[in-house]
Structure 1
Amino acid sequence: MSEERSLFCQVNKAKDSNNMTDLEKKHTPVISVPAEIRAGETVEVTVEVGKLLAHPNEPGHFIEWIDLYANWVFLARIDLSAVTTQPTLKIPVTIPHGIENLTLRAFERCNLHGVWEGTVDVKVA
């Protein structure tokens, strides 16, 4: 099975976040959020695809959607079209009381290279 074809058989992640390939840089969602937040406080979360290395945005190759999760709880989705939109999701998020360990997870789907995941751990005070 070719490398390109195998990308559609799994959720793809960077193998080494300190030494990413160009393919990984173009596709791994980058989540921006404060490192520590207060439970009940609303913060802006930004997810960008292509932040580390620009991803194409043309009719034949583009990001179709971005999903955001708090741990495994769905928070939001943005559907994108080629050329006229940029693969960025910005959303205010409120983390409820009672969550101590929080991992924000973003998933995106490239029409040519499958689904990719990016994560960030956030301390909840």
Structure 2
Amino acid sequence: MDPDNLTDLEKKHLPVVTAPDRVKAGEWFDVTVEVGKLMAHPNEQGHFIRFIDLYAGDKYLARLSLATGTTWPVLRTRVRLSKHLGPLRALDVCNLHGAWEGVKTIEVV
């Protein structure tokens, strides 16, 4: 996937992670993951996002499970990291097009 030349399919499915570039160890910060931010993803009976998972490196942080047609695929949470574990990684699963991953590099100081 070329981030500078995404296809429409990629734009609809790529989870976009929004968070600070730098955070202080042990302090809470906001993280938002949005599927369909670059191009709206259908949210209907036959085509929907099942869930969004959030990780720091390989450490599991959160999951948002979604109901068909009644929810929009946006995960918002507060996170506290005591040390750098790797980039924030978001994984979403579409019932038709499988798993997609978005990454946001952050520095924990």
Q: 1:120 aligns with which of 94, 104, 107?
A: 104
Distance (whole Å) between structure 2 residues aligned to residue 42 and residue 33 of structure 1: 11
Checking the alignment, whether the CA contact within 8 Å between 1:46 and 1:91 is kept in structure 2 is yes
- Residue identity (%): 53
RMSD: 0.9
Q: Match for 2:95: what amino acid?
A: N
Q: 1:95 aligns with which of 81, 101, 106?
A: 81
Hey, what does 1:75 align to over in structure 2? 61
Which has a greater percent of helix? Answer: 1
Structure 1: unaligned runs, 5 residues or longer: 1-14
Residues 1-125 of structure 1: pairs in structure 2 closer than 5 A: 15-96=1-82, 98-99=83-84, 102-125=86-109
Structure 2: unaligned runs, 5 residues or longer: none
Distance (whole Å) between structure 2 residues aligned to residue 42 and residue 102 of structure 1: 17
Q: How many residues align?
A: 109
Q: Match for 2:30: what amino acid?
A: E
Checking the alignment, whether the CA contact within 8 Å between 1:102 and 1:124 is kept in structure 2 is no
Structure 1 runs of 4+ aligned residues shifted over 2 Å read none
Hey, what does 1:5 align to over in structure 2? none
Checking the alignment, whether the CA contact within 8 Å between 1:46 and 1:90 is kept in structure 2 is yes
Distance (whole Å) between structure 2 residues aligned to residue 74 and residue 34 of structure 1: 19
Distance (whole Å) between structure 2 residues aligned to residue 34 and residue 75 of structure 1: 16
